[in-house]
Each structure stands twice: as C-alpha cells, then as structure tokens.
Amino acid sequence: MIEEVAATTEGDLVINIGPQHPSTHGVLHLFVTMNGETIKKVEPHLGYIHRSIEKMDESLSYRQFIYSTSRMDYLSSHINNHGCALCVEKGLQLEIPPRAKVIRILMDELTRIASHCLWWGALAMDVGALTPFFHAFREREMINDIMEESCGARLTMNYMVPGGVMFDIQPNFQKHVKEFVAHFKTKIGEYDEMVTNNIIFQRRMKNVGYISPEDAVSYGCTGAVLRASGVKSDIRKIAPYDGYENVKFEEPLEMAGDCFARYMVRMKEMMQSLSIVEQLIDNIPEGDFVAKTKAVLKLPKGEFYSRVETARGEFGVYIVSEGGLTPYRIKFRSPGFSNLSALDHMSRGQKIGDLVAIMGTLDLVIPDIDR
C-alpha cells in the first residue's frame, strides 16, 4: 500500500486526514493523494479502535457476548443486539412470544430514527451548518429518554436477550412514544426548511460522490448507500425477521446515486420508521416478554447466520458452534466496512471539500468498521 503511494507522479500532494479530525466521526485515518485540489486516491487506514471483539466473544457464553455488539455500531446498538439474539435463537430453535417481537421492532425503529437524527445533524455540521446539530439532538434526546426509561441505558442497551427482551416495557412507554411521534411530525418540516431546501446544501450534495448500481453492488454497499443507487436491498423486505412481514412500510429508493440521493433515502426512511412505530404502538399484544430458556445456553454443532437491517445497512452474525458453552468462531458482517470501501471510488476526481460531504452521507461509525 505504501509503495503504491510512493509511486505518485511529481507535483502530487499527499495529506493525512485524521485520525484526530472532527469530520471523520472518530478515529478514521484517510491517506489522500491529491493533484491540486482534485482527489486522485483515498486510502482509509484502519485499526485505531480495534478491540478484537470477535476474538473476545469466543471466550464468552451465548448470553454474554451480546453486550459487546452494542459497542460496535453504538448508534444502532439495539439492532446489533437484535441480530445476535436472532442468531442464537436460530441455533436453539426458540419460539419468541409475540409481545417480545413487537417490542423488538418498536425499539429497532426508534433506534433507527435516533441514529438518522444524529447522522442528519452531523452531516449538516460537516458541510458547514452548525445549528441543525442541536435541532437533531433535541429529537434524539426524546428517544434516549424513552430508551432510558424502558431499557435502563441511553446508548449501550443490551436489551435484547436470547428468547425476547430483558425487561417488559414501562407502563407509560406508549404515552411517551406517542408524544414523540406527534412532536417529530411537526419538526420534520423544519428539517426540510433548514437543510434539504437550502441552496448551498443542495449544491454541495448534488452530483457529488456518484456511484453506479453495479459498482455499489460489487463493493458490497448496503443500506441507504445501495438504495440511493436504485437497488432494492432492505433486509426487512427481502428476508423479514420477527414480524416485519406484518407491518406496512415502503422501501425508499432513489436513482441518482449521488450524495443528495443518499440524503433523501435516509430522510424518507425516518418517515417510514415513524409509520411502523405508529402502526405497532397501539397493538402490543399481551403475554410474556421473554421465552423460557435454560440457565445455560448451548448451541448444537453447526453454523448459524442471521442478518438484520441496521441504520447503516446489513448487519450479519455468523456463529460456528462446536456444541460447547462458547462459540467456536464468531464473525460480524458490519455495514460500515463495506460502505467505506466504496469511498475511494466515489471521491476520485472530486474536490477535497466534497470528500467530507461524501463521508458524511456514507454515515460512518468507526467502531463498527474496526470492531
């Protein structure tokens, strides 16, 4: 990798962006080769926040390892935990009570809205608008309060356990969620007024960071990045899990494949998540919130894979079991890693200022990439 950069032609400028740079959203280190202000090549250097979660999980039991996945993509920790719980349940062939399924979907969708709120604020701040960040955090704070009340934590929940959820919802969960839905509907218009319709923002986003559907598929992009290129890829539609087949929602698609398309897909996704929450909030069935499981979980010998749609894309959990108390091997397919690999392709020939906008619309969470 280093040799390749050394072979740049005369007059090229090589700069480092990060690992301590606010626009990289964490400790991402980009090695950018430029000709003037035009980007010739972008090389992401990883490993600054590698905690070897996969190796660590090999020594943890099937109940214990779920907590560590909250530390990967910390903005959609519920959905990560959900994926792991699903994989363990697949191995145990557990039947989940209907109440637990609905609570899981509700929490997932609230997490998705919270994650997109933060992404929206951070993206606007990346491209130079400071105020939207605070507006987005106002709405996110309401969701965090709901989570805090029912799950006991604001960021690293560890709420999904094999067989259901850890606690039942609080009595006033439904009231608070309804308040949030009503509040968010009045505020989403402000988001459009402030940022989406803003001429400067649109000029920064349109025709920047184009990726064709073929390239997006071959780079392994998932989530909003792939859907912005016009490829249907929502796991909730393709392989529905935990009752997503029973709720009505649309999969937002855009054809342009540029930064603005990715932005619009995420904005529409928020509205779809809101409609899922509205459909389910009054229809939480009565019953148990967790299935009865043995005190010690043992998966049969074999390989198990489950996938969920996080706020960033497809998250996969692959467990190889030898029949023991701990997994023999665990592998996480994180959406951020594949989305980051397309960054070089998207930003070649663009200006250095656009690199920040492209990174913002990829919605990178670095602990998710490094694990």
At 94, is the secondary structure helix, strand, or coil?
coil
Helix, strand, coil in percent for the chain, rounding step 5: 50, 15, 35
Cβ nearer to another protein, comparing 5 with 166: 166
- Closest contact distance (angstroms) between CB of 137 and another protein is 9
In angstroms, the first-to-last Cα distance of the chain is 22
Choose the binding region for another protein from 107-115, 164-172, 265-273, 331-339 (rule: CB under 8 A): 164-172
**Which one of residues 14, 46, 122, 166 is an interface residue with another protein (CB under 8 A)?**
166
- Closest contact distance (angstroms) between CB of 129 and another protein is 8
**Which one of residues 150, 272, 306, 347 is an interface residue with another protein (CB under 8 A)?**
150
Choose the binding region for another protein from 2-10, 62-70, 208-216, 239-247 (rule: CB under 8 A): 62-70
Q: In sequence order, which residues have a C-beta less than 8 Å from that of residue 75 and are 6 or more positions away?
A: 111, 114, 115, 118, 119, 311, 365
Residue 34 region by backbone torsions, left for phi larger than 0, else alpha for psi between -120 and 50, else beta: beta
Q: Is 182 exposed, middle or buried (0-12, 13-18, 19+ CB in 10 A)?
A: exposed
Choose the binding region for another protein from 41-49, 99-107, 161-169, 263-271 (rule: CB under 8 A): 161-169
* Subset of 68-107 contacting another protein (CB under 8 A): 68
Rounded CA separation 32/40 (Å):
8
Per-residue x/- track, 4-43, another protein (CB under 8 A): ----------------------------------------
Cβ nearer to another protein, comparing 63 with 178: 63
Cβ nearer to another protein, comparing 72 with 343: 72
Contact status: 167 vs another protein (CB under 8 A): yes
CB of 284 closer than 8 Å to CB of 175: no
Rounded CA separation 145/172 (Å):
12
**Which one of residues 18, 29, 44, 65 is an interface residue with another protein (CB under 8 A)?**
65
The token pair at 57 is 């999980």
Q: Cα–Cα distances in Å, from 291 out to 94, 156, 159, 323?
A: 8, 23, 14, 21
Rounded CA separation 330/179 (Å):
40
* Subset of 101-120 contacting another protein (CB under 8 A): none
Residue 52 region by backbone torsions, left for phi larger than 0, else alpha for psi between -120 and 50, else beta: left
- Closest contact distance (angstroms) between CB of 286 and another protein is 21
Per-residue x/- track, 172-211, another protein (CB under 8 A): ------------------x--xxx-xxxx-----------
Q: List residues binding another protein (CB under 8 A).
A: 60, 63-65, 67-68, 131, 138, 141, 148-153, 156, 158, 161, 166-167, 170, 190, 193-195, 197-200
